[in-house]
Every structure is written in structure tokens, then in C-alpha cells.
Structure 1
């Protein structure tokens, strides 16, 4: 055989006068896992049914192992393609072992008995999907998630070179969802060509070799996950503000839907910090309508990725080598011209902080368990214990700036809070660490903070 195991060429499908697929092309090689992603109603299930031969396209062609799937007999087509449907309902009350055994039907004649090879394939499929313990139960006596695994076992027992899956993790808990995709990856590793519709974009990026994004029956993007799952593509296809950042554990793309932000406030906030807490700070300030800048921050840091996703002005440095004089100068100017700067304790080098924040107009410090600040205590407008209070503190500090420079009456917008009183959950007064009511004065006894 030459060429991909599965080839979809310019396929169009319509139901009555409604177009469902329009000129769609997809390919999957042996040993490749292709994910179909897109919003509900984008055509993913229809495409899978067309590839399996269940639907005949109005135009275009589908080949599996070199042959047009729609010209093959039902038995031969079943020897080429196995399908795991999204709908787990089964209209007969057979036991689980018999359901899995149906996958062997395509490999024997109508009146032939099961062979030793058939029985071994069935037992192996049940073991791999961890359903052996209820092999003798009726299919009606197990849960929806367990039925999903039974149907996957049936497809594995079918032993085809091509595998189609429609939302294979939709009925499963997190643990079994991960195990299912790992199992599919092991089949792909052994040479199977797999195409799956997957609603979870993070899982699709983690387990698929390539993605095809569909919208209104057409392909809007195709290729490696990092080229398909971009902020612009996800936002336009799913009609949502989205941030796409590397997952800190897997390194693959992670997609987060963002809430609509408040109306722009016309004020820029400069953030100095790294890690998850800096990323959270950026997201909260963005949602509150502030313009953002950050840096210097090492390339690859999750906060740098978040800043990029939010369109923040970012000063990046080379990881492990520290910022250059030019990068420090650029960041210093951004802090000087920002309405408010936010320093995140415990995540940024205090020496870098002293250089960047020299000349900052207003400063809010997120303590994050640290008592060391890069500037004199009198230069800090507000201390907060975590990101929970950062928006209110920045709003109050910006209101103070307006009051002093005469650009406004100093009153924040209705949703801004200027109450500096200390609560159990947050600290937003102007006093330095150690002067907060209830704050421990011994640095060695300070809390672990919000890391």
C-alpha cells in the first residue's frame, strides 16, 4: 500500500437541502492519531460516519487501505474499519463478552464457530479495557461509562487497521478517559490509523499527532496541535475569548476560555513576577478592564504565555541568564509610565525589582509569603496577601493617582473597592509586612503564601 491508510478527498454531505460537510479533506497514516475538534454541530460525527461507510457523500471520495470504502461489501469494510460510537445504547440484552465477541464477526463466515484466535482476541480486548470483571453481566446492568469501554473492547477485538471514535471520553470519568486515550495511543503505536472526534481540546492536544478543526461543516485549520490551537483560531471558531498556553506538566497546548472583560479603564498596569500567581494576576486585571504590561520575564514562563494570549506588552528575557541592561531599561520605562505597578513577592529577583520599579508611580505588592520588597516600605501603596484583592487595590491606587495629579476626582468606578480595612481573607492596607494586624513579624514564621 502507498499513501495514507485513511483518505478523505473533497467530501460534501447534505441532508435534504442542508449542507453538513462542505469539501472536507482529511488523511491519517498508519501509526497516526488524528483528532477532529470543533463546536457542536460542526460536522465531526457526520464525517466519521462517512469515513466508516455508513453515509454516502454527495461528492468526494473516502478510501481505506487504498479502496473506496463505499464500494466494499459490509464484511470487507468491517475488516478495514472499526467504530466506537458516541451513543452507547444497545438494543439487546446480551452479556458483555458476547457484545465484545461481535467484533470478530467480520473475520469468520456466517455459520462458522469461534476459533481459538477469536476467543483470545476477545479476552485480550476485555483485559486491555479493564472490563473482564463484568464479562458475564448483561450490558443493561452496567453504567454508561462501562458500556463505552465495552464498545471500545469490541473495536479492539475487531482488529482493523483503521479505528474511528466519536467522543470516546464523553461518558467516562477523568481516570478512565485518560486510560482510554492512552490505549488508543498504544494501538496507534502498533500501526493503527485512528481518527477521533474529541470535545476536550487539552486532551486532543495531548494525545493526537495532528488536529483538524471543523466549523459549519468546513475545515478551518489542520496540522500539528500547536498550529491549530491558536488564540485566534479557537476564539473565532468557538466564539469565545481564549488563552492558549503550554501546560506546565505535559508541555502541550492548554486552552482556557476567558470571561468577557469589563469596559477598558484607560489605565495600564505593569506586573513584575513569574509563575502561576503572575498568570492569575494578569488574568484578573485583564478581566477588570486594565491594559497590561509585564517583565522582564523569562521566555517559556507560564505568565509570559498568558501575557501573550491576553495581548499584554511583554518584556522577555532568556531563561536562567537574567535580563540584559536593555531589557531592564525597557521594563523600567514601562513601570514608570504605568498607572500602577504590581510586584509579586517570592517570584521575582528583588535586585531586578529595585531596578525596574525605580520611578514607579504607584505600587501594589502581593506578598505571596515573602516579606522582602524591592523598594522602601513608604513607597508601597497597598499590601495584599494574594491575588484575590489585587483588582481592588490597583483600583484604589489608581484613584489616588488621579486625585493627586488632578486628572480626576479620585473616585474609582462603581465596581472598584477603596476600603483598605484588613479582613480574614485579604490584606489591602498601606502598612508594610509585620504591621498588619495579626501579621507575624518574624520573617521565618511567615506563611507559605499563594504560590
Structure 2
């Protein structure tokens, strides 16, 4: 066993007569990515400043690579810790290469000058962060994502064992957020150690090895994301009514905040059509919100089936790898008829489960989740297209994050579509479409053999 790269013990930080951190301790092993999470004002940035030696604790100590960081001079500390600030704006008009060169300052002797080693370190850092093409451009003219990568390159040029990042995804679009954290994750895989304050809990859960949850200047929880991101911890730290589940694609812990009502306050029946893990998150959220939830038809052994069983929900199932038979179709139709709202997840559609979509299309109120183009997940050909177009014409189309809002609006009888949804057709148009669809598919169904339920 090796000693942790970072060890902070019983830290108390006072600023302006106010105690910001009190009794905070943490250890960070080499080659790990630790995320600092917590509400605004919890002390995340203050802790980072203590770790890089910018703040002197009123009590406690910080050690990096066995050195008391507060006792080191500026250059010595900067050879151990590199920091990427939250604010990426710069007031000087240097180009990107000159900015990255600043990272070598801690390694320059007073009389030694610039060396081949320094030049090589700068080029490696720029290549690693994919900013070589920006080398001659003024930093002030770069986009936020480009400036972020240049500042990470500057930190890499310092060649320190520890990298600190303060809200590295703040003010970036989702593409640059993911790109930034993917880069940090890759650096950690190559041996770097990173500690980052991250405001997005789901990004933190996906990319970090461990999390430290701060609230009111104290540590609420520390450890793997699944141990830290619990509903009890989130309610205690953020005062949030949230549901914690597993993301159906990544498998990471996934946090969804519920509206400003207590869990279980919502009333109404919701039937969900899913399969292959596409409905699991919706089942967790809708159940926690208090809705009476049913789901199906699903194959036994399906991820959504297991999620429904773990929540004690009513699930219509068929045998593994089997199609939706007549008994299952009738069971689904009965639940759709009773439901105040039906949710169709971003499910893949084959001949075996197209019957689920036909049943859903008869719902009085319908929410359709679209994350991928239907053409990418349609294995039922023209038949699937016809049924899906009917769903689209009748329902409110939303992204996965807007399902609860759309269901709540539908159950409460609101006629307006939610902000991210589509407008619906008139009742007369819907009735005409329904009749036409029944005429098209009624004879087809009798002559087709389904291959699978999902």
C-alpha cells in the first residue's frame, strides 16, 4: 500500500471572520479522479484553494506528495499542484502557445533560461489537449471551450502530480462539458491525479472515481458515487427531493430532481411502454413522484422488468425472447385504458413489440420520449413507421428529462404542451387517424408472426 498523494486533516478555514470549512478531512490516492460536490457556498472552491496552498488553514494541515503545502514557497508548491480556475476569461492578449508556456515558470531557474525540455513539455501539453492548431491565436479571441483546453494545457505543462479544477464545465455547452471531463478522465488513466469541483451531479457520478459531498463547510459523505449520491444525502445537503437510479445506457448513478412537492404527493395512473432499459429511469421517477405506475409488455429478464420488480410495480410480461401475444396485448390495452397518461420510452421497435405501440396510440393522453431518431431504432419497417407517426401526431414529444413535467401536466388536465413538447392535433383529426390506422393494420396483424417482444 502506498501513501495517498493528498492528505488533508481536520481543516478549518476562516475568511473575513466567517468559518467556511470546519473539520474537513480527505485523502486522495494517486491516479484517481475525485469530485467535490455540494450546494453553492458549501466550500468547494475554498477547499481547492487550501489544497494548492493559496489559503492557510486556521487549523489542520494539507500534505501533497508528503510535503506540507503551506510551508513551501510558491515555485515549489507549483511543481506539485497545478490549478485550472473556474473563470477562463483572460485580460492579457497572449497567444495560446505563450499562455501554455506560462506553465513552465515553476521549473525555470533564475539564470538557466528556456530549455529543450521546457519546449517539449509545452508541445506535449498542447498536443494532449488538442490546442496545437490554436497556437498562434490570441487567447482573448477563443471560445469558452477552447480557452478551457488551453488552460488545461498550461496546467499540464507544469508537469505536476496533482491537477485541481474549479468547476471545469461551468458555462460550457454539453459537448464541451463531456469533452473536458473525457480529457481529465484520460489524464487520470495515464497516471495523473485530479480533484475537481463539479456542479453537475450526473457528470460527477459518471466520470469520478470518488466523490466528496460538502454542505455548510463540512463533509456529509465521501466514497464511490453510489455511496455518496443517495436520496437521504441529497436531501440533507441540498434540501432536494430527488430520485437516484441507474442510467439505462451508461450504468452510472443518475440523479433526477423532482418538483417542489414531497415524494408520493402526485396522484394518477401512468402506463409506461419501454424495453431494453429505456424505461427504467422513468419508472423510478414516476413511482417516486407518487403515481400508480404500470409497465409492459416486457420480456422476463429485461432490464426494465427488473426495475419494475424492484419498485413493486405492475408489469405485463412475456417469456424471454417471445413476442407480445394476444393475452399480453389485452393486458396492456386494459392498463392503457385505465391510465391517465401513457409514456412511450425511446424504445427500439420490432414486429414483436409493435403491439405495445398500437395499444399506446389509443391512450387519451400520451407522452412520447425521443432521444434518437425513430429510423435508427425501427426494425418493424413500414408498419412501425405508421404506428409511430400516429403516436407522434397524438402525443407530446419530450426529451427524457422532461417526462415528469409532461406527465404532471397531462394528469392535471392541462391542455398546453410542455415547453419542450409538440402541439397536438384536434380531437377530430385524431379520431380520423385512429380509424384509418385500424383499417390499415387490422388485416396485417392477423397474418404476421412476431419475432420478439423487444
The answer to whether the superposition gives a TM-score over 0.5 is yes
Q: Which structure has the larger Rg over C-alpha atoms?
A: 1
1:436 corresponds in structure 2 to 434
Once the 2 structures are TM-superposed, how far is the Cα of residue 13 of structure 1 from its aligned partner?
0.9
Residues 139, 417 of structure 1: CA spacing in aligned structure 2 closer, same or farther, 3 A cutoff?
closer
Q: How does 1:161-310 map to 2 (within 5 A)?
A: 161-260=161-260, 264=265, 274=275, 275-276=277-278, 280=282, 283=285, 290-292=291-293, 301-302=303-304, 305=307
Between the two proteins, the alignment pairs up a number of residues equal to 389
Q: Is the 8 A contact 2:213 2:228 kept in 1?
A: yes
* Structure 2: gaps (5+ residues): 369-390, 396-409, 416-421, 446-453
Question: What RMSD in Å do the two structures reach over aligned CA positions?
Answer: 4.4
| d(CA) in 2 for partners of 1:32, 1:72 | 24
Is 1:353 aligned to 2:328, yes or no?
yes
Residues 46, 134 of structure 1: CA spacing in aligned structure 2 closer, same or farther, 3 A cutoff?
same
Residues 445, 144 of structure 1: CA spacing in aligned structure 2 closer, same or farther, 3 A cutoff?
farther
Q: Is the 8 A contact 2:269 2:338 kept in 1?
A: no
| d(CA) in 2 for partners of 1:245, 1:181 | 22
Q: Is the 8 A contact 1:292 1:313 kept in 2?
A: no
Once the 2 structures are TM-superposed, how far is the Cα of residue 261 of structure 1 from its aligned partner?
5.1
Q: Once the two structures are superposed, what CA deviation does each residue of 1:52-86 show, in whole Å capped at 9, x if it has no partner?
A: 00001111111000111011121111111111111
Q: Is the 8 A contact 1:205 1:225 kept in 2?
A: yes
Q: How does 1:102-113 map to 2 (within 5 A)?
A: 102-113=102-113
| d(CA) in 2 for partners of 1:306, 1:41 | 38
1:386 corresponds in structure 2 to 366
| d(CA) in 1 for partners of 2:249, 2:336 | 37
| d(CA) in 1 for partners of 2:329, 2:317 | 20
Q: TM-score, normalised by structure 1?
A: 0.71
1:43 corresponds in structure 2 to 43
Q: How does 1:389-408 map to 2 (within 5 A)?
A: none
User: 343, 359, 363: which is aligned to 2:338?
Assistant: 363
1:20 corresponds in structure 2 to 20
1:313 corresponds in structure 2 to 312
2:139 corresponds in structure 1 to 139
Q: What is the DSSP-based 3-state SS (H/G/I as helix, E as strand, rest coil) of the residue aligned with 1:70? A: helix
Residues 273, 87 of structure 1: CA spacing in aligned structure 2 closer, same or farther, 3 A cutoff?
closer
Q: Is the 8 A contact 1:81 1:162 kept in 2?
A: yes
Q: What is the DSSP-based 3-state SS (H/G/I as helix, E as strand, rest coil) of the residue aligned with 1:7? A: strand
Once the 2 structures are TM-superposed, how far is the Cα of residue 185 of structure 1 from its aligned partner?
1.9
Q: What is the DSSP-based 3-state SS (H/G/I as helix, E as strand, rest coil) of the residue aligned with 1:62? A: strand
1:68 corresponds in structure 2 to 68
Higher mean C-alpha displacement, 128-137 vs 312-321: 312-321
Q: Is the 8 A contact 1:30 1:192 kept in 2?
A: yes
Once the 2 structures are TM-superposed, how far is the Cα of residue 198 of structure 1 from its aligned partner?
1.0
| d(CA) in 1 for partners of 2:146, 2:19 | 35
Q: Is the 8 A contact 2:213 2:222 kept in 1?
A: yes
Q: Once the two structures are superposed, what CA deviation does each residue of 1:77-114 show, in whole Å capped at 9, x if it has no partner?
A: 11111111111233432222111111111112123221
Q: TM-score, normalised by structure 2?
A: 0.71
| d(CA) in 1 for partners of 2:139, 2:338 | 64
| d(CA) in 2 for partners of 1:302, 1:247 | 12
Higher mean C-alpha displacement, 212-221 vs 130-139: 130-139
| d(CA) in 2 for partners of 1:30, 1:434 | 65
Once the 2 structures are TM-superposed, how far is the Cα of residue 168 of structure 1 from its aligned partner?
1.2
2:376 corresponds in structure 1 to none
| d(CA) in 2 for partners of 1:56, 1:148 | 27
Q: What is the DSSP-based 3-state SS (H/G/I as helix, E as strand, rest coil) of the residue aligned with 1:244? A: strand
| d(CA) in 2 for partners of 1:134, 1:279 | 41
Residues 9, 278 of structure 1: CA spacing in aligned structure 2 closer, same or farther, 3 A cutoff?
closer
| d(CA) in 2 for partners of 1:425, 1:181 | 39
